[in-house]
Amino acid sequence: MSQTNNQIPLEVINKYRLVLLGTDSIAEVKRIFSTSSAKKKCDTHHGVVVLATITKGCIKTNERIVMSSCGDFLLDDNIVRIEINNNEAAGAAEGQNIGVCFERTKLDDLKKILRVN
């Protein structure tokens, strides 16, 4: 699989101004991709990773999260793993850069929602 087939292009992420919304948190999405190592680490069979920066509050593993674009709901899912600097973490706070894996969301699902070919 080529690199462009296993990610959401940055221009799409920027166009939709994607954010993750938790119970009391907001995180700006920086990158979305799929990788085989995430399949193993997250045990989800699809390996979708969302890199984001938390701008408000904190995000925890097993938290239900919503992905939003300019205030519009796109999807919701549970976080099964959080990583900070490639180390697993139970949670992360404002200002931290994180990688998260979702329980059910597949890259193809995101591509359809965001109209990526």
User: Domains in the chain and their CATH numbers?
Assistant: 3-109 (2.40.30.10)
- In whole angstroms, how far apart are CA 84 and each of 9, 40, 72, 91? 22, 17, 27, 9
pLDDT of residue 51: 96
Please say whether the beta carbons of 25 and 57 come within 8 A: yes
What is residue 24's DSSP assignment? S
pLDDT of residue 81: 92
Spatial distance between the Cα atoms of 20 and 22, rounded to a whole number of angstroms: 7
The total of other beta-carbon atoms located within 10 Å of residue 79's CB is 22
In 3D space, the residue among 82, 80, 84, 88 whose CA is nearest the CA of residue 96 turns out to be 84
pLDDT of residue 1: 39
Reported as type and span, the H/E element at residue 111 is helix 107-113
pTM above 0.85, yes or no: yes
Q: From first to last of its 117 residues, what are the pLDDT tens digits of the chain? A: 344 689 999 999 999 999 999 989 999 999 999 887 766 677 666 778 999 999 999 999 999 999 999 889 999 999 999 999 999 999 999 999 999 998 888 899 999 999 997
